[in-house]
Amino acid sequence: MVLSVKEKKWMDSVIKEEEVRRYMDGEYDFIDDEEIWSKLLSNRSPDKKRIEDILQKSLAIETLTPDETAALLNVEDPELWDEIFRVAGEVKKKVYDNRIVTFAPLYCSNYCVNNCLYCGFRRENLREKRRKLSLEEVKEETKVLAGEIGHKRLIVVYGEHPLSDARYIADTIEAIYSVKVPTRNGFGQIRRVNVNAAPMSIDNLRLLRDVGIGTYQVFQETYSHELYAKVHPEGTIKHDYRWRLYCMHRALEAGIDDVAIGVLFGLYDWRFEVMGLLYHARELEKRFDGIGPHTISFPRLMPAAEAPFVQETRYKVSDEDFKRLVAVLRLAVPYTGLILTARETADIRRQLIPLGITQTDASTKIGIGAYSENYDEQEIERQQFIIGDPRSLDEVIRELAEMGYITSFCTAGYRCGRTGDRIMKLLRSGKEGRFCKLNAILTFREWLDDFASEQTRHIGEQIIEKEIEEVKMQVPENYSETVFNELLKYYERIKNGERDLYF
């Protein structure tokens, strides 16, 4: 597909070289491919004692060094891996308690000027049906998500194109926040809008900040400089590795203090990519007073229309290695949220959740307009890729409850100053997990009353009872008597139809 003059002109205006250079150390960025390989090589065959020491450091919620992370990645002993998996789950519980946060993606536009070899949105994919939602259509999608399914948190997704520029993104965020829908016992509303969109300039990021964005999420896709250049063809915006690499620096400078990073696993060696994510997290911590990534995502490459690299890659990640990389991420950056999406099958999700996952999506549809148009078949011409777990939110929540987890719809943190370096300190000290526990109980109660099937409501109430009992058991060590009594009062108020009460 040939680019129009308007598209070309717009593309030329996107990258601001000065907004890359200002963060760089001379000619070098913070990803040194050779250094990563050398760390992976020099930490081969780590002994058991060293691994146990590293696990203790993770349990103290300290970010690991590259050498320590490389040592974990080089473990071969299956028993030691079992120990790593166990401790990863323990670290998650310590930081985030027993809750899993759910969200849904909302794809607003699939126009794209880029041509990434693994992506269904690539501009040369002529089979893709292109569409951009109007603001009215965005509201219609939101009504279904917030009023029928019961989501409180979205990740909105856009291709990179002048039709879906920063102004459009900001307008869609405002449109989503404006929707309030009556439900069985209260009302439904999206309370946190996170954004997955292309890297932007500081001025454009300020536009997003000013409409109350939740988290700004950009995946580097691969940290390998060489492979990055290959799969993001020359002449596209995305070809510029460093414009993408430093977008979180710009976001933080623009005042968006919750940022999220990720890798598309399967493009390159998974151990290298985990190291890349670690280097990225450490760079942000170093530059921004301890603020690291709010979340890390690790999608695996999935079939997509007209995406040649999906068949070509030598680096597809096996299920076993996938479990390992998730556990190592949990241990290497212990404070961060880990997002597992419906790209994966239900079976894989069941296996991964105990390894430190904090967030997952459900009732997921990734076709443009798919929620309000109510079509359930996956259509590769309308989607970026094919999803592996199309189960409803109700089904996913029921299964999580059967596994012993409470689903949380909490969006309190960013609405009461638990952001930036403050949230980082609260996470590292384990205090945020105590807020998580209380808010999970309250928001889960809301959802059960407003949206749950009878079957899910039944098991959900058992989980709530167990969680309230656990809070009670933690008085006075972790919670005061006053806090426990406040929890019970808030809980009753929510049962009586009040909404959006939080700690």
Minimum Å gap between C-beta 415 and other proteins is: 5
Among 17, 35, 52, 210, binds other proteins (CB under 8 A): 210
Whole-angstrom distance between the N-terminal and C-terminal Cα of the chain? 52
Assess 93 for contact with other proteins (CB under 8 A): no
Site for other proteins in 389-428 (CB under 8 A): 412, 414-423, 425-426
**Half-sphere CA count of 183, side-chain side, radius 13 A:** 27
Site track 464-503 with other proteins (rule: CB under 8 A), x = hit: --------------xxx-xx--x---x----------xxx
Judge contact between 503 and 479, C-beta under 8 A.
no
Residue with Cβ nearer other proteins (189 or 222): 189
Enter the tokens of residue 401: 């409850």
Minimum Å gap between C-beta 199 and other proteins is: 18
Q: Quick one: which segment of 85-93, 147-155, 251-259, 297-305 binds other proteins (CB under 8 A)?
A: 251-259
Residue with Cβ nearer other proteins (54 or 208): 208
Minimum Å gap between C-beta 214 and other proteins is: 8
Rounded to the nearest 10 degrees, how much is the dihedral formed by the CA atoms of 281, 287, 291, 295? -30
Site track 252-271 with other proteins (rule: CB under 8 A), x = hit: xx-x-x--------------
Residue with Cβ nearer other proteins (453 or 478): 478
Minimum Å gap between C-beta 417 and other proteins is: 4
| Beta pairing, strands 99-109 & 406-408 | parallel
Among 188, 214, 262, 334, binds other proteins (CB under 8 A): 214
Q: From 240, 277, 263, select the one nearest 31 (Cα to Cα).
A: 277
The SS3 of residue 104 is strand
CB atoms within 10 A of CB 195: 27
CB atoms within 10 A of CB 59: 14
Minimum Å gap between C-beta 75 and other proteins is: 35
Q: Measured between alpha carbons, how far is residue 178 from residues 143, 173, 190, 306 in Å?
A: 10, 9, 9, 37
Minimum Å gap between C-beta 55 and other proteins is: 27
The SS3 of residue 105 is strand
Minimum Å gap between C-beta 503 and other proteins is: 5
Among 212, 388, 390, 430, binds other proteins (CB under 8 A): 212
The SS3 of residue 473 is helix
Site track 35-74 with other proteins (rule: CB under 8 A), x = hit: ----------------------------------------
Assess 131 for contact with other proteins (CB under 8 A): no
CB atoms within 10 A of CB 14: 18
Q: Where are the alpha helices (DSSP H) in 124-255?
A: 135-142, 166-177, 202-210, 225-231, 241-245, 247-253
Among 118, 243, 288, 409, binds other proteins (CB under 8 A): 288
Residue with Cβ nearer other proteins (77 or 498): 498
Site for other proteins in 143-202 (CB under 8 A): 177, 191-192
Enter the tokens of residue 357: 């996952």
Residues in the chain: 503
Minimum Å gap between C-beta 66 and other proteins is: 22
Minimum Å gap between C-beta 361 and other proteins is: 21
* 335: amino acid identity, one letter: Y
The SS3 of residue 64 is coil
Assess 438 for contact with other proteins (CB under 8 A): yes
Q: Specify which residues 492 forms β-bridges with.
A: none
- Residues that bind other proteins (rule: CB under 8 A) add up to a total of 45
The residue behind tokens 């060590």 is 477
Q: From 222, 227, 279, 221, select the one nearest 39 (Cα to Cα).
A: 279
Q: How many whole angstroms separate alpha carbon 293 and alpha carbon 144?
A: 30
Residue with Cβ nearer other proteins (54 or 423): 423
Q: Quick one: which segment of 114-122, 293-301, 311-319, 433-441 binds other proteins (CB under 8 A)?
A: 433-441
Q: How many whole angstroms separate alpha carbon 479 and alpha carbon 260?
A: 30
Minimum Å gap between C-beta 197 and other proteins is: 17
Residue with Cβ nearer other proteins (369 or 433): 433
Q: How many whole angstroms separate alpha carbon 367 and alpha carbon 108?
A: 9
Residues that bind other proteins (CB under 8 A): 177, 191-192, 209-214, 249, 252-253, 255, 257, 287-289, 291, 412, 414-423, 425-426, 431, 434-435, 438, 478-480, 482-483, 486, 490, 501-503
